[in-house]
């Protein structure tokens, strides 16, 4: 959720506001510090060097002249680079101050030019000091503490932190609802896109009634919504044209298949009738045999096309209880007769596996899968037909040890060719597996294939 556009916009606004607050806080602190230090400098100039001068002529038991001095005022006298006396004003009295060697060296390094500067004494605190030359060749230093300046700055920073933190909190909450309101048209675009993505667009008649409502073309989101609506219109037109083309093709296939059945039956009948004559030469008998054979093959192809056309049209199938176990036994027996050069195996459960469906069409599914394994694998290949129940569904598997299927071939497509992966010496119409998928889909089932050299498994799953 943190990566959504709404949260990124709110986070961006808060980041910019936080940067602005930080800049304002730093600028105000620096400006306030400059003003406070300037006021301390003015007080320092006003105080002069009277306290430091009085340290030179102090009376026994007293420490300089503290009259009119601000509590915390620091004074020191240096002679020949050495501190001879130092003190701090506390109330109306001055107290001696013990300075470390580092503090004395720091004081000795100050230039007696009368310019205020900040120093930090280890025995005291941070001071603003001013060094002036004395009349006796000495250096007189007067300083005022910066503790009050630091305290004021800390209070200012705490107030700013509270104010800016509250401003960020209020801005974050208000910005969230404002961004949410501003992006509501984009939410409508996303909702419409989700609705369209859930529609079955792969085949059949599709109506895209969904459109983004309230698309204001004056805004950027409105322009996106308007373009999206136009795109949906184009997609709807394209899907309608595709559906009309599919309908015309299916009608043509159904009509052509139906019309071809009669002439093919006539050709086959005449060929069989002619073959009954005894006075035919060998060449004529061979030609009539080829006519009969190819007429039968074309009749089979026409029947397959007609079946696919009926399934595409959604013709209802028979619904009755089908014992897949018994169906597998019968289909395996027929396959063993048709392909004696293969090794056929059955893997059946102890109890029958039944489904509700069309027994003729389901038998055709199993027969086509076994025929596919027989036609496209060399002699000696082991073919295993298994029936099981898995995850509440009936499952039929046909596994062979043949050379496998090329990975870029969709064997369930109509008239699919698998020459690169399997032998096609025995021919085939290329419609067997397409019929398998159409029949399984009509039973609300699924079919898939897992193939590699030495192992190919077709798996059909049906509602139990």
Structural domains of the chain, with CATH:
1-46+149-182 (no CATH), 48-145 (3.30.450), 198-315 (1.10.287), 320-463 (3.30.565.10)
Mean pLDDT across 200-214? 72
Q: Which stretch of 24-28, 108-112, 414-418, 439-443 has the lowest confidence by average pLDDT?
A: 414-418
Q: How far apart are CA 450 and CA 458, in angstroms?
A: 7
Q: What order do you get walking across the sheet with 82-90 strand by strand?
A: 93-96, 82-90, 74-79, 139-145, 126-133, 117-120
Task: Select the more confidently predicted residue: 390 or 255.
Answer: 390
Q: What order do you get walking across the sheet with 343-347 strand by strand?
A: 343-347, 382-390, 393-400, 455-463, 446-452
* pLDDT given at position 97: 61
Average pLDDT, the chain: 83
Q: Which stretch of 64-68, 117-121, 182-186, 312-316 has the lowest confidence by average pLDDT?
A: 64-68
Taking 3-state DSSP, the helix, strand and coil percentages for the chain, each rounded to the nearest 5, stand at: 50, 20, 30
Question: Looking at the predicted structure, is the pLDDT value of residue 391 above 90?
Answer: no
Question: Looking at the predicted structure, is the pLDDT value of residue 203 above 60?
Answer: yes
Mean pLDDT across 320-336? 92
* pLDDT given at position 204: 63
CB 134 within 8 A of CB 140: yes
Q: Find the helix or strand (DSSP H, E) in which 192 lies.
A: helix 184-197
- pLDDT tens-digit readout, 279-297: 888 888 888 888 888 888 7
Mean pLDDT across 431-436? 85
pLDDT grade for 422, boundaries at 50, 70 and 90:
very low
- pLDDT tens-digit readout, 123-169: 778 899 999 998 878 889 999 999 889 999 999 999 999 999 999 99
Name the percent of the chain lying above pLDDT 90: 27
């Amino acid at each position: 959720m943190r990566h959504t556009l709404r949260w990124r916009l709110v986070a961006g606004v808060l980041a910019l506001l936080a940067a602005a607050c930080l800049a304002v806080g730093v600028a105000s602190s620096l400006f306030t510090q400059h003003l406070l230090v300037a006021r301390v400098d003015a007080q320092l100039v006003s105080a002069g060097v009277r306290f430091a001068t009085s340290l030179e002529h102090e009376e026994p038991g007293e420490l300089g002249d503290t009259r009119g001095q601000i509590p915390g005022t620091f004074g020191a006298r240096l002679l020949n680079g050495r501190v001879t006396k130092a003190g701090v004003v506390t109330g109306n009295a001055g107290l001696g101050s013990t300075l470390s060697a580092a503090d004395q060296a720091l004081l000795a390094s100050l230039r007696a030019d009368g310019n205020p500067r900040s120093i930090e004494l280890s025995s005291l605190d941070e001071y603003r000091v001013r060094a002036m030359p004395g009349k006796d060749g000495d250096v007189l230093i007067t300083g005022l503490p910066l503790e009050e300046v630091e305290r004021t700055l800390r209070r200012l920073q705490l107030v700013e932190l509270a104010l800016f933190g509250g401003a960020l909190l209020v801005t974050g909450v208000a910005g969230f609802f404002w961004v949410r309101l501003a992006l509501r048209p984009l939410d409508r675009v996303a909702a419409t896109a989700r609705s369209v993505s859930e529609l079955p667009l792969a085949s059949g008649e599709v109506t895209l009634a969904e459109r983004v409502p309230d698309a204001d073309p004056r805004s950027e989101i409105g322009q996106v919504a308007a373009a999206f609506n136009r795109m949906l219109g184009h997609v709807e037109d394209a899907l309608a044209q595709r559906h009309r083309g599919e309908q015309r093709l299916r009608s043509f296939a159904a009509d052509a298949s139906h019309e071809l059945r009669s002439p093919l039956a006539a050709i086959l009948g005449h060929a069989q009738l002619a073959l009954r004559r005894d006075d035919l030469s060998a060449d004529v008998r061979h030609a009539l045999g080829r006519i009969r054979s190819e007429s039968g093959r074309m009749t089979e192809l026409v029947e397959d096309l007609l079946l696919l056309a009926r399934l595409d049209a959604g013709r209802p199938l028979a619904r009755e209880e089908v014992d897949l176990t018994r169906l597998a036994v019968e289909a395996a027996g027929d396959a063993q007769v048709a392909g004696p050069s293969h090794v056929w195996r059955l893997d059946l459960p102890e109890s029958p596996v039944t489904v509700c469906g069309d027994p003729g069409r389901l038998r055709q599914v199993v027969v086509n899968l076994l025929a596919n394994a027989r036609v496209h694998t060399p002699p000696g290949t082991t073919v295993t037909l298994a029936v099981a129940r898995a995850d509440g569904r009936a499952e039929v598997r046909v596994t062979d040890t043949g050379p496998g299927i090329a990975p870029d071939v969709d064997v369930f497509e109509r008239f699919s060719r698998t020459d690169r992966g399997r032998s096609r010496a025995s021919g085939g119409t290329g419609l067997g597996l397409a019929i398998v998928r159409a029949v399984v889909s009509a039973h609300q089932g699924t079919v898939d294939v897992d193939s590699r050299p030495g192992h190919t498994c077709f798996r059909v799953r049906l509602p139990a």
